[in-house]
């Protein structure tokens, strides 16, 4: 059996390896990761780790016995620097080259950091989280730049720790890209009800030299002891430049997540096409794990297409927001159970009379049930 090389030792990469073993693959699996640690889970970094509820040990994706069973050749603390499709090799830092029969690209994202924000913290790795947690001990005023999912979670964590938090969002409401304007308004209200100052309609220009104060496009300067930059991330494809793979805000793949002969991509880095010309890339934990199962099957000769109902969740101030499906910008939001004022509701997003997403706001049971409708619209009558 030919060797499988996986680059990126996180949820996507590890799940491919585990699924291959689960399907009886006995060949060599090498897992290359530039972080010097065994695979860990990222979602708790902005939640339980920042607030101090979980230690780093609680984040391991699999325990050591399970990892031993997988018989993986670990190459942790090593960076893939180049892919040569012709000779089927991945070159690592330090000069080592790995030959592959199948290659899986699972390198995730790198936070964006425009010029002028050198002194701001970003949050992608456990190392980032531990440093931020340490700095939150002494900082009193925290400026969070970017009101996406990550920025909102960092703001919530800092607020929970008793900090004065300013959340800076250039749009009209936080999380608009994920939730749309109406539900984003509920996120704004949630933060403001807990004492976070939300500034909207003006973006951050730069940090004032030598400080963590944030200058906004409106001219306002938000004074802070600590600035956190959460303005999005870019696919980690720098090492693939010049390889011949099609790179376009991610590694372009077909509907089977195949990027080239015997090369697949999974997780945050993968931009796949549904075959009609539409492409998508998702930055969610569930997507990485689900794509990994498809890729493992396809490496072993299958031809499975990836056709997900997208899912993500976010935890802020003890509120769990869950979304199955996709909310289009002009979707109609219908609350079908509960009440936003009571921090618990179930909503449906509808577009042209079709339900495109189920949204749970502290309503896990309802959102699980509503999810089935996205695949089976005939069930919609069961939900008021």
Ligand X SMILES: Cc1cc2nc3c(=O)[nH]c(=O)nc-3n(C[C@H](O)[C@H](O)[C@H](O)COP(=O)(O)OP(=O)(O)OC[C@H]3O[C@@H](n4cnc5c(N)ncnc54)[C@H](O)[C@@H]3O)c2cc1C
A 10 A CB-CB count for 65 gives 7
Closest CA to 203 of 217, 182, 221, 191: 217
Taking CB under 6 A as the criterion, which residues in 92-151 touch ligand X? 106-109, 123-124, 150
Which range in 4-12, 51-59, 193-201, 342-350 contacts ligand X by CB under 6 A? 4-12
Question: Among 117, 239, 306, 345, which residue interacts with ligand X (rule: CB under 6 A)?
Answer: 239
Taking CB under 6 A as the criterion, which residues in 305-324 touch ligand X? 312-314
CB 250 within 8 A of CB 238: no
Helix (H, G, I), strand (E, B) or coil at 113: coil
CB 253 within 8 A of CB 79: no
CB of 148 or CB of 216, closer to ligand X = 148
β-bridge partners, 319 = 316
Taking CB under 6 A as the criterion, which residues in 58-97 touch ligand X? 79-80
CB of 202 or CB of 317, closer to ligand X = 317
β-bridge partners, 313 = 322
* Dist CA 282 CA 270 (whole Å): 8
Question: Among 168, 227, 236, 263, which residue interacts with ligand X (rule: CB under 6 A)?
Answer: 236
Smallest gap from Cβ 201 to ligand X, in A, equals: 26
CB of 214 or CB of 269, closer to ligand X = 269
CB of 132 or CB of 349, closer to ligand X = 132
What is the C-alpha radius of gyration for the chain, rounded to an integer number of angstroms?
A: 22
Q: Which residues contact 63 (CB under 8 A, 6 or more apart)?
A: none
CB 123 within 8 A of CB 154: yes
CB of 113 or CB of 376, closer to ligand X = 113
CB of 42 or CB of 213, closer to ligand X = 42
Please report which helix (H) or strand (E) contains residue 84, including its range.
strand 80-84
Q: Which residues contact 358 (CB under 8 A, 6 or more apart)?
A: 323, 324, 325, 346, 347, 348, 349, 366, 367, 370, 371, 373, 374
CB of 43 or CB of 174, closer to ligand X = 43
Q: Binding to ligand X by residue 152, rule CB under 6 A?
A: no
Taking CB under 6 A as the criterion, which residues in 267-296 touch ligand X? 267-269, 283-286, 288
Smallest gap from Cβ 283 to ligand X, in A, equals: 5
Query: Which residues of the shown chain bind ligand X in the complex (CB under 6 A)?
Result: 7-13, 32-35, 42-43, 45-46, 79-80, 106-109, 123-124, 150, 236, 239, 267-269, 283-286, 288, 312-314
């Amino acid at each position: 059996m030919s060797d499988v090389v996986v680059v990126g030792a996180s949820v996507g990469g590890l799940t491919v390896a585990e699924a291959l073993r689960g399907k009886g693959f006995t060949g060599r699996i090498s897992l290359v990761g530039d972080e010097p640690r065994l695979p860990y889970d990222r979602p708790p970094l902005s939640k339980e780790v920042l607030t101090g509820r979980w230690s780093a040990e609680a984040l391991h994706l699999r325990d050591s016995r399970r990892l031993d069973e997988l018989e993986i050749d670990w190459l942790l603390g090593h960076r893939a620097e180049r892919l040569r499709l012709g000779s089927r090799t991945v070159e690592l830092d330090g000069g080592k080259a790995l030959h592959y029969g199948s290659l899986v690209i699972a390198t995730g994202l790198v936070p964006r950091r425009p010029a002028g924000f050198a002194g701001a913290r970003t949050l992608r790795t456990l190392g980032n989280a531990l440093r931020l947690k340490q700095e939150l001990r002494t900082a009193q005023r925290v400026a969070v730049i970017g009101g996406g999912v990550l920025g909102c979670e960092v703001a919530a964590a800092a607020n929970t720790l008793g900090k004065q938090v300013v959340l800076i969002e250039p749009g009209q409401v936080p999380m608009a890209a994920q939730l749309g304007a109406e539900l984003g308004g509920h996120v704004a209200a949630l933060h403001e009800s807990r004492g976070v100052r939300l500034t909207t309609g003006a973006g951050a220009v730069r940090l004032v030299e030598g400080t963590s104060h944030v200058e906004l496009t409106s001219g306002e300067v938000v004074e802070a002891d600590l600035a956190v930059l959460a303005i999005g991330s870019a696919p980690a494809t720098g090492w693939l430049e010049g390889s011949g793979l099609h790179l376009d805000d991610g590694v372009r793949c077909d509907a089977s997540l195949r990027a080239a002969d015997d090369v697949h991509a999974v997780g945050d880095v993968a931009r796949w096409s549904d075959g009609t010309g539409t492409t998508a890339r998702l930055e969610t934990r569930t997507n990485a794990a689900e794509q990994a199962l498809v890729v493992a099957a396809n490496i072993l000769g299958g031809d499975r297409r990836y056709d997900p109902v997208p899912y993500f969740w976010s935890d802020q101030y003890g509120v769990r927001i869950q979304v199955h499906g996709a909310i289009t910008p002009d979707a109609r939001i219908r609350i079908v159970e509960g009440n936003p004022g009571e921090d618990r509701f179930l909503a449906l997003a509808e577009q042209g009379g079709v339900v495109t997403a189920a949204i749970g706001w502290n309503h896990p049971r309802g959102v699980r049930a509503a999810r089935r409708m996205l695949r089976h619209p005939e069930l919609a009558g069961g939900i008021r």
